Amino acid sequence: LPTLAIVGRPNVGKSTIFNRILGERISIVEDTPGVTRDRIYGNSEWLGKSFSVIDTGGIDLGDEPFMSQITQQAEIAIEEADVILFLTSIENGVTDADERVAQILYRADKPVVLAVNKVDNPERRQDIYDFYSLGFGEPLPLSGTHGIGLGDILDAIVAAFPDEVKDDDDDSIKFSFIGRPNVGKSSLVNAILGENRVIVSNIEGTTRDAIDTKFEADGETFTMIDTAGIRKRGKVYENTEKYAVMRALRAIDRSDVVLVVLNAEEGIREQDKKVAGYAHEAGRGIIIVVNKWDTLDKDNHTMSDFENIVRAEFQYLDYAPIVFVSALTKQRLKNLPQMIIQVAENQTRRIQSSVLNDVLMDAIAVTPTPTVNGKRLRVYYMTQVAVKPPTFVVFVNDPDLLHFSYERFLINQLRRTFDFEGTPVHLIARHRK
Ligand code: GDP
């Protein structure tokens, strides 16, 4: 997706505008821990064009001095974005900090849309002409609190997006390694590339998102999206957690299958759960990769013990296969391509309605539908409406009667009958007309 980055000094209203642009589109999955708070990245749509949005102001750069923070946020915007929304505010006129941002943005070869926020009062409209001095053409007025002017700004932004992002139009299987620092993502990337025939590798710096490498294995073509490599370039902001999270989210967005990497040596940490939560929420295929398996002294129980811990800690990922590997000794790395192929296939699996309804009727026969407040749930018909992830609509007499446990039961019946290992399965209840 093309990417918009919002940049500007503190207090001009970046996060308000960010939230307005995302609108209702922020999806919240209740049972995933810590995913939706402090959001600085999301997807939106305007005039039928989808795009990603980054609020660079939300990237917490710790104790860095004020001007340095502004500089770094602008650099992030340049690095990540196709179009930059440079936000200023009518309140204080053009400030030194605005000029600083402008200086950084001049250096970039990216379209910049300049907006002046907090023009809540029409009488102040005259003052926006001062902002021509920043050198980005016509300043567009905006009132974040009243929501006025945003449409024109989004028009300008969408018009400035590149015509086509050629990123995703091949049919290779796209995957990425996701995980907190030091779990061994870079090592896994290198080990995999060492074992397989590389077709094309983008040189670092030519892609903004990540380093993509195409390779062949088991008769398939893969694109590996490597976010870890970029982080290693070592700019200050690249070590901040939110930046790392945003990178991970962007990689997840582009992946068919996400390999969530854990570190066997250190066990499971809070941050691992967050990372896994993102992948789950995005509906991608997931494989749990326990790396550094070479570091443990093992007996007959070690693997099943570890597996039990992973299952207990990541209950919502009960569909994801687990593999124990070592980037160092290359143990079981050869299995990964085949597992990725299988999960990608499961993600796009389509089930005929007739077959689906046989399963549904059998399920109801085994476990009758529940009665809630004296009213019985009736289930009439099921059909698949989407893949990636497989999504089913079940037509019922009253969607409120389909409680979590029965929904879960139906999904489990589907999983038992068809191979959906590694992919979330979504079930939507609709009222039959
Ligand atoms: P990243 O931050 O997730 O990309 O992690 P790195 O790939 O940089 O690895 C972090 C550290 O763990 C490095 O010192 C690696 O050499 C080490 N490491 C990575 N994979 C393995 C493994 O399978 N076994 C062992 N023993 N060490 C590993």
- What pLDDT shows up at residue 428? 93
- What pLDDT shows up at residue 40? 80
Determine if ligand 1 sits within 6 Å of the CB of residue 328: yes
The full set of domains in the chain, from first to last, is 3-160 (3.40.50.300), 168-347 (3.40.50.300), 353-431 (3.30.300.20)
8 A C-beta contact, residue 173 and residue 340: yes
Residue 285 pLDDT > 60, yes or no? yes
Nearest to 356 by CA among 403, 413, 422: 413
Give 187-243 pLDDT, tens digit per residue. 999 899 888 877 765 544 444 445 688 899 999 999 998 765 554 555 666 667 777
Nearest to 172 by CA among 149, 196, 194, 191: 196
Determine if ligand 1 sits within 6 Å of the CB of residue 111: no
181 labeled part of a ligand binding site: yes
Name residues whose C-beta falls within 8 Å of residue 381's C-beta, 6 or more positions apart in sequence.
353, 357, 360, 394, 395, 432
C-alpha to C-alpha distances, 53 to 20, 23, 44, 106, 113, nearest whole angstrom: 11, 12, 7, 21, 14
More confident residue, 294 or 230: 294
> How does residue 264 score in pLDDT terms, banded at 50, 70 and 90?
very high
Across 270-274, 391-395, 422-426, least confident range? 270-274
Question: Across-strand partners of 115?
Answer: 87, 140
Q: Select from 187, 293, 295, 298 the residue to mutate for testing ligand 1; criterion: most ligand atoms less than 8 Å from CB.
A: 187
Name residues whose C-beta falls within 8 Å of residue 409's C-beta, 6 or more positions apart in sequence.
363, 367
8 labeled part of a ligand binding site: yes
Average pLDDT over residues 114-123: 90
pTM, two decimal places:
0.78
Measured CA to CA, the distance from residue 108 to residue 75 in angstroms comes to 9
How far, in Å, from the CA of 344 to the mean position of ligand 1?
26
Other CB atoms within 10 A of residue 380 CB: 12
46 labeled part of a ligand binding site: no
198 labeled part of a ligand binding site: no
Across 271-285, 333-347, 362-376, least confident range? 271-285
Of the chain, the percentage scoring pLDDT greater than 90 comes to 57
Nearest to 340 by CA among 188, 227, 182, 183: 188
How far, in Å, from the CA of 328 to the mean position of ligand 1?
8
9 labeled part of a ligand binding site: yes
- What pLDDT shows up at residue 203? 46
The token duo for 53 is 């949005």
Q: Is the ipTM value over 0.85, yes or no?
A: yes
Round the average pLDDT of the chain to a whole number and report it: 87
Phi, psi of 112 (to 5 degrees): -120, 130
8 A C-beta contact, residue 427 and residue 348: no
How far, in Å, from the CA of 185 to the mean position of ligand 1?
7
268 labeled part of a ligand binding site: no
The token duo for 363 is 């399920």
B/e letters for 164-198, b = 16+ CB within 10 Å, e = fewer, are eeeeeeeebbbbbbbbbeebbbbbbbebbeeebee
Average pLDDT over residues 323-335: 96
Please tell me whether the peptide bond between 368 and the residue prior to it is cis, using omega within 30 degrees of 0.
no
How far, in Å, from the CA of 307 to the mean position of ligand 1?
21
Of the chain, the percentage scoring pLDDT greater than 70 comes to 89
Determine if ligand 1 sits within 6 Å of the CB of residue 295: yes
Determine if ligand 1 sits within 6 Å of the CB of residue 182: yes
Residue 251 pLDDT > 60, yes or no? yes
Determine if ligand 1 sits within 6 Å of the CB of residue 176: no
Q: Which stretches of 152-192 are assigned E, i.e. beta strand?
A: 173-178
Residue nearest to atom 16 of ligand 1 (CA): 187
